[in-house]
């Protein structure tokens, strides 16, 4: 695998020399994300706000982008349009504010009729199949379930890493993962991108990717602490350098996969793909510059990973 190494296995890049700068920059980026959440808020999709769902059928196959453009011209800027079935049917979903601003009525049938007329094209008129109201209560339940899912995953990670490594490793891994998640969520708040259930799924996948990357580096840290007679700074630098090529290559391949999904997965998957792309970039940087820096800040040492008393003699004979 040597030809595939981006960096030599025995690289001597001094990452720990930048530990103070790394933590300051990471903290600033995280606080910007938190500030954007509170100052700007989120552009929630109708999954969370409620709205109207309308199914339309056409006599001939229809261009989804064309339907979306006609709805935008008619005043439905936030309309979500998806094709389904044979390509002659589309699902249009509107947030409450989009629908009420256009028609001034609360009746779902009136909104659906207005949308049907706007979505029709010359020689290929749309026919309403069905329409339904999506209540905001469902959105609140989805948001609560999403928060519970995040907390559950965090707790699971904390328990797993504590048993596999040691509590300092668990704390560093959880802080690093929380940093990545906050930056990704803050990105959507800062840019005003629509936040829907697919974005929430992308955030959850970012957590898994981030913690996996961190555990790989921490596993090498544990091995080097037990096998090297060196200071914590030297051990952490060595561990990062030894896993650097693996981290960069894995992240690059994962990014290419998600980027393809962003380009060709359609509008309904763009939010999830964007969350994953931002998460992969931020997760890779935090794995290299933040995770081990936090370990050093927490005061990790060889004694934290000492084996049981019966193995101390064997450990002392190691070079």
Neighbours of 187 (CB within 10 A): 20
Q: Among positive and negative, which fits the CA dihedral 154, 159, 160, 164?
A: positive
DSSP E strand boundaries for the chain: 43-44, 51-58, 80-84, 89-95, 126-134, 194-195
Instruction: Please tell me the distance from the alpha carbon of residue 43 to that of residue 49, in angstroms, as a whole number.
Output: 10
82 within 8 A of 270, measured Cβ to Cβ: no
Residue 188: what pLDDT? 94
What average pLDDT does range 99-108 have in this prediction? 49
pLDDT, position 3: 52
Identify the pLDDT of residue 99: 45
Residue 205 pLDDT exceeds 70? yes
Inform me whether the pLDDT recorded for 148 exceeds 50. Answer: yes
Higher-confidence residue: 16 or 103? 16
List the structure tokens of 248. 């960069």
Average pLDDT value for residue range 111-132: 84
What is the structure's pLDDT at 41? 87
What does the pLDDT read at residue 96? 62
Confidence of residue 189 (pLDDT cuts 50, 70, 90): very high
Higher pLDDT, 269 or 239: 239
Mean pLDDT of the chain: 82
Closest CA to 180 of 154, 159, 160: 154
pLDDT value of position 101: 44
- CA 277/CA 275 separation, integer angstroms: 6
Give me 317's structure tokens.
Answer: 């004979």
Return the structure tokens found at 76: 């439905």
Three-state DSSP class for residue 196: coil
Residue 187, pLDDT score: 95
216 Cα distance to chain centroid: 19
Tens digits of residue pLDDT in 245-290 = 889 999 999 999 999 999 887 777 889 999 999 999 999 999 999 9
CATH class of domain segment(s) 51-134:
alpha beta
With tokens 């060595």, the residue in question is: 238
Structure tokens given for 226: 């037990």
Least confident of 3-7, 54-58, 215-219, 267-271: 3-7
142 token code pair: 């989805």
| Fold of the CATH domain 2-42+138-316 | Multidrug efflux transporter AcrB transmembrane fold (1.20.1640)
Domain residue extents for the chain: 2-42+138-316, 51-134
Q: Tell me the mean pLDDT in the region 86-114.
A: 67
Question: What pLDDT score was predicted for residue 1?
Answer: 46
- Structure confidence at residue 300 as a pLDDT band (50, 70, 90): confident
Quick one: average pLDDT of 110-120?
84
């Amino acid at each position: 695998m040597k030809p595939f190494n981006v960096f030599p296995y025995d690289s001597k890049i001094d990452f720990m020399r930048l530990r103070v700068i790394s933590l300051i920059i990471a903290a600033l980026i995280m606080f910007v994300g938190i500030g954007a959440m509170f100052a700007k808020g989120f552009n929630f999709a109708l999954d969370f706000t409620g709205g109207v769902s309308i199914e339309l059928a056409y006599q001939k196959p229809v261009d989804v982008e064309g339907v979306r453009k006609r709805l935008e011209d008619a005043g439905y800027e936030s309309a979500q349009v998806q094709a389904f079935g044979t390509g002659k049917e589309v699902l249009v979903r509107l947030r409450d504010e989009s629908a009420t601003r256009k028609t001034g009525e609360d009746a779902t049938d009136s909104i659906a009729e207005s949308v049907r007329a706007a979505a029709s094209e010359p020689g290929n008129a749309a026919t309403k199949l069905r329409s339904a109201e999506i209540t905001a209560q469902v959105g609140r339940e989805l948001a609560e379930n999403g928060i519970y899912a995040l907390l559950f995953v965090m707790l699971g990670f904390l328990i797993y890493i504590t048993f596999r490594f040691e509590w300092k490793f668990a704390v560093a891994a959880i802080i690093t993962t929380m940093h990545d998640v906050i930056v990704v969520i803050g990105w959507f708040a800062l840019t005003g991108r629509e936040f829907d259930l697919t974005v929430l799924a992308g955030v959850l996948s970012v957590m898994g990717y981030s913690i996996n990357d961190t555990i790989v580096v921490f596993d090498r840290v544990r091995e080097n602490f037990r096998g090297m007679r060196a200071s914590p700074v030297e051990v952490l630098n060595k561990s990062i350098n030894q896993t650097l090529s693996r981290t960069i290559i894995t992240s690059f391949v994962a990014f290419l996969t998600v980027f393809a999904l962003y380009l060709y997965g359609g509008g309904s998957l763009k939010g999830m793909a964007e969350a994953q792309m931002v998460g992969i970039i931020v997760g890779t940087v935090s794995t290299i510059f933040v995770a081990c820096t936090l370990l050093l800040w927490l005061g990790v040492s060889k004694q934290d990973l000492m084996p049981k008393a019966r193995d101390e003699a064997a450990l002392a004979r190691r070079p």
